[in-house]
Chains A and B, each alone.
Chain A
């Protein structure tokens, strides 16, 4: 085989004198290169050439031994600097291989091709040896760079992990859901007039909710709104056209002692839809869709008749929810109803026009406590957690 003839032990004795390469050899080299000659024929010809061209043979032999020497030396090198020195030593401008290749000038023209090929072969062997060695060294270095790292250790905390308050999260969930359903946001003052908070919402003048024991008042007679429903009134008061289709998340106040289930300031979200043909069917469809979006597609909702001064008919809404490890049960979650015509009448009186003519328009409204919703969703047992802002609480959300 060709490979056998290149074994270092047989090549060592060949001393090439490239200048003596005959045209025949050039011809022969061509075949050697492109055709795979039978082994015995090859060695026979090589023997003839060695005998007939001593300088050529000497150069070939020198190249072979340089190759052996280089490859042996390469094995002993263990760092990049040494490899670079090796590269300069053999392949550099003043390197050993470069020096040997200077002998090409003396090789007879007809043998140049064959010696040149040998030269290339040696250069390739050294270069690829060098590359292999470099890559191995790099690989070893890369491997040792990560060796011993315990990837199970926790990550670097950076600036720490922030969190949105659970009330913000639940409010945003409600807002995003209702916006998809074509509601826009509305807002109003928290310090309200009695008219916006009660009168316009058909609340009797002696209704207990108006009492100073239940509602916070300001020295000037205004009050802190007891529900976000006052935003409904503000919206209708200033609406330019129908339909009115708004949601109003916001704070509301009740003069309750703070305990595990009550806050004197709490959060609600309110919705109002008024047009010329809004029915109970719209209310039902809207709320069922909303609660399924919020609590999941299999959520069951029920409507219990109830009483509110500002809607008729009125309903309370229960959602069937599973508490952790407990049987699913109905949880009261919202109030709703068809806007009472008395509300439209009062708005019309204030506006002095008939955009909200109680004989022509209908509407629905619903509202729910966001604190309660957050407590249900997250299994929070004490409402005071929502205002204390204990970081150990906040970071759970």
Chain B
């Protein structure tokens, strides 16, 4: 909310506070100062001047050469670019030496060869008014030569963040009241003008009917006849302009002024355009209203509207109608001052995306007790400024709801919650009393308080405790250092495990990515058809854009998108991984959340360097090697799956019966879409499966005391016999001396010259050892021979 310090000072004398002090005071009372702006001119070298004559600049189409009376007796020549003036207009003139806002100093000089001895200014250039598309044309009765800073006073504007619980601060008087409580300074008597002074009578049924008292329990109307609608006086305009409101006409300006002065939102109708009395009711479904902003709004049955006997007049508490507003020529008006319940105003205003200063206040909650005072202040100003005669009585329908009651303060709990040993009950009570609460009774344990009608946020003991804490601040609270022993559970272990995995990958040169959990509908393609996929992706009901429509069912779409971005930036060597949550739509429609690890690999094995500019492109075995190196992975098994449009060499990864995840090469067709020039490989693993593999501390195996012996064997076999079959043979063979079998070469010849294309040659090193004694060559030879015989029997191999 924009607050004018000058305006504020009409209620409380803050001259003993500097702006930074005031800012701190507000900030530490929970009213955050988001901006401070000083308006107005410091220099007195900008004066009122009158344009006596002007002519076209001989060398520039867009410039005029003006002769200006600055009050010195001799005319001053000014070259000017504006067009919005005529002879005789009074304008602000910046004399040479004047410093304008933004550190801009006026100097004598030539413009396109013609002398110019100053500058005529717009309001914006002076930092006073808005840009009006030219010079600021001043009132004709201002004396020539008078400094502008004597006409327009300077002001400090505070941009305040009022928290939603403090609707009582949404006015200058409300804020002054708070500052008085915080500083101990008195409020000036001017606040009395907001007190209800009118006499009231119950509105007749044909004057005001409340047909939806849950939305509007209390409505007042007053008729003023014979007003003269016109521009507001300067003081009123400047008050509104100072906080960024645009003056419209005296009646509308007065209603806005009262709202900003004391927080009561009003609405003035053109009485002659109403037919019959006021009805406050729910809208009919589809009913339409043309609002003051020129837009037509279609209403729902939940919306509260003000209607006459023919048509909707206003969206209650939000905005008036275009057709019944007060305009030039209006002579008779009906002034509405009412209380609308917050939830209704909020719902309507949100749904229509129609937000006004009025709806802002009503949806946060207004003090029903000020409805009459607000009306009275407005009437007083209307009569003063626009003339006319007001009906002697305020027509009242319904009753002001009682929104506050007495609150009991639990003294013991207060002290326990605040933890301030030096705080006495007396200190706390002083604070509450300063804030306008009235103590009704008190004993050692409890005290009972009457709440001011505007403090709609104080209902419970803890609300009063908050007031005490807010006012004394946390400086007086001692800092207590206190901890208890904490036993970790599965969540702690899972966190540590995930960090361990991350660190393992970082150590292998991988960069951790974090992609958005929301993906687009086309991206879902990258996530399906793998062994971990379920029924599909969980779609959002209300996505914000086409890019983010679904919760990711896999980490792969995000990593592919990140790869695409990096490739576009010219990167060719990608080592990305992500650990994070995915969302699986299960066949029963439920969504399961699951933690996964995914890795993406593409490009050269090593970064290029002077040691070797180009290294070989990494392949699926580099990625598999990374997986095999992860903690918790041992005896990795693969099961080839059917390729699909997105993935080649698509394989399920398992440890025993446990599914670990899947590995694949991104289909070259898909890789081309992201401009990848090197093959892209991905793997996605379940964190839960990885965790199962890392069970407890490692168990030590005694180191061999006797040397082993190795024998190599090379054999040919059909190319389609997989490595896993051969390794399974060595793993299963019952030869006690054989302790390790290790593949060290695979040879194929695509040309068929050294080896038929459908054959491959592999070479293994077999290690023999007896843990009890040193081996003898003969027994190794015998064991080796037995193994080779078994191998030839088990598999179609030819020993070389």
Query: A interface vs B, CB < 8 Å?
Result: 153-154, 156-165, 167-168, 172, 175, 179, 181-187, 189-191, 204-206, 208, 211-213, 216-220, 224, 243, 245, 251, 253, 255-257, 263-265, 275, 277, 279-282, 284-286, 288-289, 302-307, 312-316, 338, 340-341, 362, 386-392, 394-395
Contacts and interface: CB of A to CB of B under 8 A. Distances in A.
A263 B545 CA distance: 13
A126 B28 CA distance: 93
A282 B462 contact: no
Interface stretch (B130-138, B162-170, B291-299, B670-678): B162-170
A174 B32 CA distance: 27
Given A168-B502, A172-B499, A185 B540 contact: no
Nearest to B463: A312
A230 to B, nearest CB: 13
Nearest to A217: B541
B491 interface: yes
A264 B518 contact: yes
A167 B511 CA distance: 13
A313 B539 CA distance: 38
B539 A265 contact: no
A291 to B, nearest CB: 12
A142 to B, nearest CB: 23
A285 B477 CA distance: 9
Task: Indicate the member of A165, A256, A280 with the most B CB atoms within 10 Å.
Answer: A280
A281 B419 contact: yes
B417 A184 contact: no
Contacts of B420: 280-281
A168 B512 contact: yes
Task: Indicate the member of B29, B503, B609 with the most A CB atoms within 10 Å.
Answer: B609
B165 A185 contact: no
A312 B418 CA distance: 11
Nearest to A289: B481
A187 B606 contact: no
B274 interface: no
Contact of A183 (B165, B486, B583, B593): B486
B509 A162 contact: yes
6 contacts: A162-B510, A191-B591, A217-B540, A253-B517, A279-B416, A280-B418
Contact of B518 (A175, A220, A265, A395): A265
A274 B416 CA distance: 13
A280 B163 contact: no
Given A154-B610, A185-B495, A224-B540, 17 more contacts: A159-B606, A162-B506, A164-B502, A168-B514, A185-B491, A206-B342, A208-B346, A218-B591, A264-B518, A275-B484, A281-B420, A313-B465, A338-B417, A338-B462, A388-B565, A392-B569, A394-B511
B90 interface: no
Contact of B484 (A167, A179, A245, A251): A245
B577 to A, nearest CB: 9
Given A183-B486, A338-B417, A307 B28 contact: no
Interface string B461-501: 01101100110011001111111111111011011000100
B30 A306 contact: yes
Closest 6 CB pairs of A and B: A279-B419, A305-B30, A281-B419, A307-B163, A182-B483, A162-B506
Nearest to A307: B163
A305 B166 contact: no
Given A168-B512, A315-B474, A288 B591 contact: no
A149 B478 CA distance: 63
Contact of A341 (B418, B460, B473, B477): B460
A156 B612 CA distance: 9
Nearest to A165: B512
A187 to B, nearest CB: 5
B571 interface: yes
Contacts of A154: 609-610
B573 A160 contact: yes
B28 A206 contact: no
Contacts of A281: 418-420, 477-480
A305 B565 contact: no
A184 B487 contact: yes
Nearest to A219: B541
Nearest to A279: B419
B311 to A, nearest CB: 28
Contacts of A307: 30, 163-166
Contacts of B479: 281, 284-285, 288-289
A204 to B, nearest CB: 8
A218 B486 contact: no
Contacts of A179: 486
A40 B69 CA distance: 131
A246 B433 CA distance: 38
A156 B492 CA distance: 38
Contacts of A243: 484
B576 A389 contact: yes
A251 B517 contact: yes
Interface of B: 27-30, 32, 163-166, 342-343, 346-347, 350, 416-420, 460, 462-463, 465-466, 469-470, 473-474, 477-489, 491-492, 494-495, 499, 502-503, 505-518, 538-545, 548, 551, 562, 565-566, 569, 571, 573-576, 581, 583, 589, 591, 593, 605-607, 609-611
A279 B465 CA distance: 12
A277 B506 contact: no
Contact of B491 (A184, A257, A277, A286): A184
B350 A280 contact: no
A206 B347 contact: yes
A338 B461 CA distance: 13
B491 to A, nearest CB: 4
Contacts of A163: 506, 511-512
Given A219-B539, A265-B516, A395-B511, A206 B343 contact: yes
B469 A305 contact: yes
A206 B349 CA distance: 12
A257 to B, nearest CB: 7
Contacts of B542: 212, 216-217, 255
Given A211-B350, A304-B27, A184 B510 contact: no
Contacts of B515: 387, 389
A245 B477 CA distance: 21
B64 to A, nearest CB: 44
B422 to A, nearest CB: 12
A220 to B, nearest CB: 8
Contact of A184 (B492, B544, B569): B492
Nearest to B165: A307
A389 B566 contact: yes
Contact of A158 (B489, B509, B538, B581): B509
Nearest to A157: B607
B513 A312 contact: no
Given A185-B492, A285-B479, A312 B505 contact: no
B514 A165 contact: yes
B678 to A, nearest CB: 15
A309 to B, nearest CB: 9
A279 B417 contact: yes
A111 B699 CA distance: 71
A159 B618 CA distance: 11
A302 B28 CA distance: 9
Given A157-B607, A218-B540, A279-B419, A265 B509 contact: no
A373 to B, nearest CB: 14
B518 A162 contact: no
B541 A184 contact: no
Nearest to B493: A185
A318 to B, nearest CB: 9
A73 to B, nearest CB: 44
Given A154-B609, A257-B544, A362-B416, A264 B539 contact: no
Contact of A279 (B166, B480, B481, B571): B480
B163 A389 contact: no
A184 B486 contact: yes
A279 B416 CA distance: 6
B465 A312 contact: yes
